[in-house]
Structure 1
Amino acid sequence: MKPANEWAEYFINTLLNVEQASVNTTRAYAQDLKQLQAFAGSFDAITSKEIREWSASLMRQGLSPRTVARKLAVVRSFYRFAQRQGWRSDNPAGRLLAPRFRPLLPRTLTMDEAHDLVESAQQTSGRLGLRNWALLEMLYGAGLRSQEAVSLNLGDVDMTTCFVRVQGKGGKERVVPFGRKAREALDNYMLNLRPNLVRSRTNALFVNYRGTRLTTRSVRRIVKIVLVRAALQRNVSPHWLRHSFATHMLMNGADLRVIQELLGHSLLRTTQLYTLISQEHIAQVYQNSHPRA
């Protein structure tokens, strides 16, 4: 059996290399486990009481219930892994209740704002406007994460059927459709701009002015540039476009299970957050429209 001081490292390496969790996720998990170890000692001897005391200490430090609940979920997952490895016979975090918190609703654009943002993209950064337009069309039109968009290769996009193959979180692959507007933008970009940017052989769909693959940092910068052009007074991140994609589809009658598949969510309850936004929208329309509201 592995020494207890090596458990966390083995767990993190498994998440990263086998489960293909993101670097940011595994870094956060490692930090959470390091905090627990500093508070309660060796992982092989930690008890439910000590984890409960650790949780209470985090609340006293001013951490939000949401953050504490996330940390407890990490510890619970870690000890499930330890049980499977035969390192522990019990899960000391298994029956601990997480602090209650109100679900954080995804932040979205209105349909008009999303339209203005995407339409403004082609007017930015001179000749790079064609790339920016195609990129935002895919973020909003296919509901892609930034990392998914910049990871796209030329062979992932089928311009005939208007489907794109996406590598999601944990290496999960999905195939999602994109619309005629996105196809028009991609056509313009791939015919009129991309060949002039690429100086060496690369399969990357979205490239920068040096001809190399875009990064997620570049995507954030592009969205900020387009925001100025669209005159939207909101601090919008690229992920807002993914949230807007799901919310606007739901508001227009799309089935929740279909949206789950398009977004690549493993759990339906993750997708169900968007129904809360839709309900808020319905309530607002009612208040604004009904004479006795």
Structure 2
Amino acid sequence: MTKAPASALISAFLEMMAAERGASPHTLDAYRRDLDDYVGSLKAGKSDPVTAGDGDMRRYMAELGAAGLAPRTQARRLSAVRQFHKFLYSDGYRNEDPSANIDSPRQGQTLPKFLTIDEIDRLIAAASNHSGIKGKRLLAMVELMYATGMRVSELVELPYAAAARDPQMLIVRGKGDKERLVPLSDPARDALRDYIAVRDAFIPSDKSDGHTNRAGQSSYLFPSRGKTGHLTRQMFLNMIKDLAVDAGVAPSRVSPHVLRHSFASHLLANGADLRSLQKMLGHSDISTTQIYTHVLESRLRGLVQEHHPLAHMGKPE
């Protein structure tokens, strides 16, 4: 059994996640935060990742509950710790995996939050009323988000090459560097075409930032002058919160993930099947897509009530 500092073990785990599973920088940052928190708890209990037992893990989970963390957040932390310990066991840092007998926190079923079609229409109409090049960018991003159901990280990191030739299908690189094809609606293509015509205005004038080539062309569809070279998730969140105010929709109900949920829920409500939706959302497991079945259940109830002959028995004409 190899003894190593906790920080070195976490770094080795993150390197494995990046190299073998294609974890994104955002995912790796989240894992590091969760594992740093876990290691801090172990240190307080005079333990470490190599010597920790299931009692240490149960104490850590109890601490999370006492701190008031939601069951979903606790489950995410436990998932990170479990994967970490499986790595330590499989790579020979430990002789056993202490996470094997730890139960996940009980979670109530949380239905995805989504906007109505009318609210989406109001957001798009409000974006259309924004003038200038920023208005064209805003409209293009909202239309793309709702037309494809992309994750916000996928949207802001879209390469310019993916959309430069007025495509009918968009290639999206998702989790684990897996690529998928998603169709573009006509309104999304129109908005994208109008934005690309003014996109050069957003390219930084400093060509030495590592995100532009010698011709001054940015590799990102939505370039910015920030250190990432592209518009950030936080910037887009702020943009659509302001847009919600303009559209008369409560800003607390609007986020990039809500737009993704709205895309999925509206597709299912209008006849799409779960397998097709799974591919468009980039879910590796259909069980993840099944959170949207509440929409299917509602639609099926409506179909039965409207078309099944027994549903109308006993009702006055």
* Residue of structure 2 in register with 1:248 after alignment: 266
* Residue of structure 2 in register with 1:64 after alignment: 70
Give the number of the structure whose alpha-carbon radius of gyration is greater: 2
| Structure 2: gaps of 5 or more residues | 206-215, 306-310
Structure 1 letter corresponding to 2:84:
F
* Residue of structure 1 in register with 2:95 after alignment: 89
Cα shift at 1:196: 4.9
Contact 1:154 1:204 in 2 (8 A): yes
Which of 203, 211, 222 lines up with 2:219 in the alignment?
203
Cα distance 1:213–1:284, how it changes in 2: closer, same or farther (>3 A)?
same
Cα shift at 1:260: 0.9
Contact 1:159 1:183 in 2 (8 A): no
* Residue of structure 2 in register with 1:214 after alignment: 231
* Residue of structure 1 in register with 2:211 after alignment: none
1:108-132 deviation line (CA, Å, top 9, x unaligned): 1111111221232121153421221
Which of 258, 263, 272 lines up with 2:276 in the alignment?
258
- Structure 2 counterparts to residues 1-293 of structure 1, below 5 A: 1=2, 3=4, 5=6, 6-16=8-18, 18-40=20-42, 41-157=47-163, 159=165, 162-191=168-197, 193-198=198-203, 200-207=216-223, 213-235=230-252, 236-279=254-297
Cα shift at 1:214: 2.3
Q: What is the CA–CA distance in structure 1 between the aligned matches of 2:54 and 2:192, rounded to whole Å? A: 54
| Structure 1: gaps of 5 or more residues | none
Cα shift at 1:224: 2.2
SS in 2 for 1:164: strand
Deviates more, 1:113-122 or 1:52-61: 52-61
Q: What is the CA–CA distance in structure 1 between the aligned matches of 2:115 and 2:260, rounded to whole Å? A: 10
Q: What is the CA–CA distance in structure 1 between the aligned matches of 2:38 and 2:137, rounded to whole Å? A: 46
SS in 2 for 1:114: helix
Q: What is the CA–CA distance in structure 2 between the aligned matches of 1:158 and 1:197, rounded to whole Å? A: 15
Contact 1:124 1:225 in 2 (8 A): no
* Residue of structure 1 in register with 2:208 after alignment: none
Cα shift at 1:286: 10
SS in 2 for 1:62: coil
Q: What is the CA–CA distance in structure 1 between the aligned matches of 2:66 and 2:30, rounded to whole Å? A: 21
Q: What is the CA–CA distance in structure 2 between the aligned matches of 1:108 and 1:36, rounded to whole Å? A: 33
Q: What is the CA–CA distance in structure 2 between the aligned matches of 1:56 and 1:238, rounded to whole Å? A: 32
**Identical aligned residues as a percent:** 35
Cα distance 1:79–1:181, how it changes in 2: closer, same or farther (>3 A)?
same
Contact 1:158 1:164 in 2 (8 A): no
What TM-score do you get using the length of structure 1 for normalisation? 0.86
SS in 2 for 1:176: strand
SS in 1 for 2:56: helix
Cα distance 1:135–1:38, how it changes in 2: closer, same or farther (>3 A)?
closer
When the two chains are superposed, the root-mean-square deviation of aligned CA atoms in Å is 2.8
Cα distance 1:85–1:285, how it changes in 2: closer, same or farther (>3 A)?
same
Cα shift at 1:44: 1.6
Deviates more, 1:23-32 or 1:236-245: 23-32
Q: What is the CA–CA distance in structure 1 between the aligned matches of 2:23 and 2:296, rounded to whole Å? A: 30
Cα shift at 1:177: 0.9
Q: What is the CA–CA distance in structure 1 between the aligned matches of 2:63 and 2:202, rounded to whole Å? A: 54
1:66-104 deviation line (CA, Å, top 9, x unaligned): 222222211111111112212223211112111111133
